[in-house]
Structure 1
Amino acid sequence: MTADSRPRLRAVCLAGPSDSGKTTLVEELVPRLAEDDRVATVKSIHHDIEIDTPGADTHRHRTTGAETVVGITPELTFDITTRGKRDPPDELGSDPFGLGSGTDREPSEIREMRALASTLERLERRGYDIVLVEGFSASPLPTILVGDRSPADVGGPVIGRHDDGLETLAEAIRSVDPLEFERPAD
């Protein structure tokens, strides 16, 4: 399948209070979706954590000023980028959430949405078909409600609830409209 003919990225948010079962639902959905699609996940984390071992070469690369460090092991490849929710990239290749103008969102929420949009755009360029986003409940992405989350508490249209059944949810995810990212001219 060529880059032009492959389906574009579909992203769905899973929103609910802490300990409501969002991660468990992600664990159940990923294998079903991965049968036919390349699946990635994004997790909103509300506090800073150190994901690299202090003193390791990759940590040393990052702390000396590299904006992105990529580590490649025999089994995994990972990248650490210093541009998180507080300092997302200024320029997106496109604006799939309509953040460019006329928004009444708080500056911190705009930064968070830019960080998510930038990550989704990067995953789309890498050829993923579906991204499950845990958290980021204010995003305009189609949303599956988990626990007692109300539709009024999320930014996107509700496409399902955690108790709808895995096959129903998988079909709802596969049927959402793909995100629109601008493609560079050839």
Structure 2
Amino acid sequence: MKIFGIAGYSGSGKTTLIERVLPLLAARGLKVSVIKHTHHDFDIDRPGKDSWRAREAGAAAVLLASDHRTALLTEHRDTPPLLEDLLNKLPPCDLVLVEGYKREAIPKLEVHRAETAKPWLFPDDQNILAVASDVEPRQPIFRIDIDAISQLTDFIIDHALSRPTA
């Protein structure tokens, strides 16, 4: 599977960009998965349900399955997962878009909006190949307008699928 990162600070539009390029990637026949990193604790389970009770009782993992989807709930217990381990848990696909994990050494597109007033990531990250932004950066790097979704999709395909498989 090929891996391509979408990096940027909170509020920059990473999720929105992914949401907008996914239909175009699918229309080109690509099976795409997404790994999203969050700094916030979350739980998709509900207190009192059987799966929640199993986790609370000490299960290392619980796999929920229905006729429509599955969810693997893994307790990390103070040991954050490595991106490589997460990639190994995904079913086969053509491309994995990785949102977050901005410090990982994977090819990336930086998403940057002027309104966030955050610094650029690309000057300190050689893995950032271009920026998707509503403003021109002061330092030289290839820039694609953040709303040029077709061009962004082409860029992701050209730079993710032409690289060696992970």
Q: Which TM-score band applies after superposition, normalised by the shorter structure? A: 0.7 to 0.9
Q: How does 1:11-26 map to 2 (within 5 A)?
A: 11-26=3-18
Matched, 1:141 2:106: yes
Amino acid paired to 1:179: T
Specify the alignment match of 1:95 in structure 2: none
Q: Alpha carbons of 1:14 and 1:26: their partners in 2 closer, same or farther (altered >3 Å)? A: same
What CA RMSD, in Å, does the superposition of the two structures yield over aligned residues? 2.1
Q: How does 1:23-34 map to 2 (within 5 A)?
A: 23-34=15-26
Q: What SS is found at the alignment partner of 1:146?
A: strand
The whole-number CA distance in structure 1 between the counterparts of 2:61 and 2:130 is 35
The whole-number CA distance in structure 2 between the counterparts of 1:170 and 1:14 is 12
Q: What SS is found at the alignment partner of 2:54?
A: helix
CA offset digits 1:71-118 (Å, max 9, x no partner): 11232211111137x415xxxxxxxxxxxxxxxxxxxxxxxxx62111
Unaligned runs of 5+ in 2: 114-119, 134-144
Say how many residue pairs are matched: 144
The whole-number CA distance in structure 2 between the counterparts of 1:56 and 1:154 is 43
Specify the alignment match of 2:141 in structure 1: none
The whole-number CA distance in structure 2 between the counterparts of 1:60 and 1:154 is 43
Match of 1:131 among 71, 96, 116: 96
The whole-number CA distance in structure 1 between the counterparts of 2:33 and 2:82 is 16
How far apart are 1:42 and its partner, in Å?
A: 1.0
The whole-number CA distance in structure 1 between the counterparts of 2:7 and 2:45 is 27
Amino acid paired to 2:14: K
Seq. identity, % = 33
Match of 1:168 among 130, 144, 151: 151
Q: What SS is found at the alignment partner of 2:82?
A: helix
The whole-number CA distance in structure 1 between the counterparts of 2:19 and 2:55 is 31
Q: Which has the higher strand share?
A: 2
How far apart are 1:155 and its partner, in Å?
A: 6.0
